[in-house]
Structure 1
């Protein structure tokens, strides 16, 4: 990579290109990705008017992974799971949308049938533009109860992380270099860096010495043990 009128050493210019591209794609003003209070971004629901935008985003992401360049794409864990054909879970939704995730967990834990039914929830989900989508046939007329709440939560998670973003995600994954990076496991070093940046700690801060010690030891592990650890993380 070369910038006109600018000198650079090593792969510095390549890294700069990927950083600039990532920031452009993730700029709220562009409207390419949805932004959440968690600081993470996700695909827009059923995007159909972005042309090749997501293919281009996937191409840049694939190039960055292939070249082991860390880029500021604040993607959630769910994306990396989907890239490896691993189904996202309620915990993944909670990482992206903490308030929604907590509410769904509270629904699963609620002991009072009366209180649950008094919420008047049905098998529907509100879209970004205010439209209502049924999570199953005749969902608007099916009240959420203790007997069907697990199905409701599963459908909610599946719609948010899979069904509603199917088209933009498929476009994102069309880039052959991205697929090659995943297949050859070249993506793993960058994936580890992304996990280290975006992981949410319980009872600890990222600056805590215990956390620092963990990552220091982890980065000294043999590649095979790193891969095994990463595989376990992505299938939780």
Structure 2
């Protein structure tokens, strides 16, 4: 995002050495000890006690495992809404350093061309770019709340006050207890009516997306900007920044086929491979996206397009009763040597339907 840093011949990479059973704490401790200039270097990850050389796959596994852990409800850092999108939890017990770490990781993912499977609304990326958030943004995250507020704005009939019975306050859950919070000074005694309903809706949106999570978002933003801050960032639209972090949906599955390599007995005209591509191209977009999630850990593709997504298909020793298996960190598909198109289709669809979240092997 910002201007590239001069090459450091002594320490050319940002190296993180982490333990699988202490991933969050090790990452947090090491990131806190780094100079901001270190974040501009290529990231190399070493899992303690393992010999794998990080050619990209180890780094991808690191992001996937770490983010899966910190987004787990056990940490209580984020809430998931009916939209299946996540937002900061204002009632979290975690301190700001954890949110700073996640922001830093999002920045590092951009710098290292790694797509990460985070389910944040566009509002997050608007806020990172210091753009205002509005009712449409709240509606994306919390559809029911957004629609209710929209209905308030659209109501033009008589008896507004008796119908809605609203004051300028909101009920907020804090640590298991629900309490009223005033949206403005004296809000509990300020009635909402047709003349001030827009003010009410704006304050409501501002509270949910800004004020109530200010501490958590500020830490996240500081971590992100420590990596990606600079004048170049200002040139991005929120949708472009979102695509840099979580990929885009500009699918070209013919490009994926062209980029696929084969190992062992497999080659492009092998009977099983022919069956595979026939079945794949006939699948619905929904199932193709499930396959991407199964293969890569995300149903989105790199920001620069499908040509940057590489897949390897290799045979397995198992028989035709076995399901395909994805080595998610390396985009490798273990495909049994199915001898009929029908069996391949059945087994492939079954494999991708069973995938939930990360399909690590």
TM-score under structure 2 normalisation? 0.51
The answer (yes or no) to whether the contact 1:68–1:189 under 8 Å persists in 2 is: no
Map of 2:285 onto structure 1? 207
Q: Which of 182, 195, 219 is the equivalent residue of 1:147?
A: 195
Given candidates 33, 36, 48, the residue that maps to 2:78 is 33
Aligned CA RMSD, in angstroms, stands at 2.9
Bigger strand share: 2
Check whether the contact 1:64–1:71 (CA below 8 A) recurs between aligned residues.
Answer: yes
Compared CA separation, residues 109 and 39, structure 1 to 2 (3 A): same
1:172 to 199, 207, 220: 220
Match of 1:110 in 2: 155
Higher Cα Rg, which structure: 2
Residue deviations 1:155-209 (CA, integer Å, cap 9, x gap): 0011111111111111112221143584686x98772263746xxxxxxxx938x
Aligned counterpart, 1:62: 107
Indicate if the aligned counterparts of 2:84 and 2:119 stay in contact, CA closer than 8 A.
Answer: yes
Structure 1 equivalent of residue 63 of structure 2: 18
What TM-score do the two structures reach when normalised by structure 1? Answer: 0.76
Within 1, Cα distance between the matches of 2:209 and 2:62? 29
Q: Which has the higher contact order (CA 8 A, sep 6+)?
A: 1
Q: Which structure 2 segments of 5+ residues have no match?
A: 1-44, 250-283, 287-299, 306-361
Are the structure 2 counterparts of residues 219 and 5 from structure 1 closer, same or farther at C-alpha, using a change threshold of 3 Å?
closer
Question: Where is the helix percentage greater, Structure 1 or Structure 2?
Answer: 1
Any residues of structure 2 matched to 1:87-106 within 5 Å, and which?
A: 87-106=132-151
Residue 2 of structure 1 corresponds to which residue in structure 2? 46
State the 4+ residue runs in structure 1 displaced beyond 6 angstroms.
187-190
Which stretch of structure 1 is more off in the superposition, 133-142 or 43-52? 43-52
- Residue 179 of structure 2 is aligned to residue 131 of structure 1: yes
Mean Cα deviation higher: 106-115 or 151-160: 106-115
- Unaligned regions of 5+ residues in structure 1, if any? 198-205, 209-214, 221-236
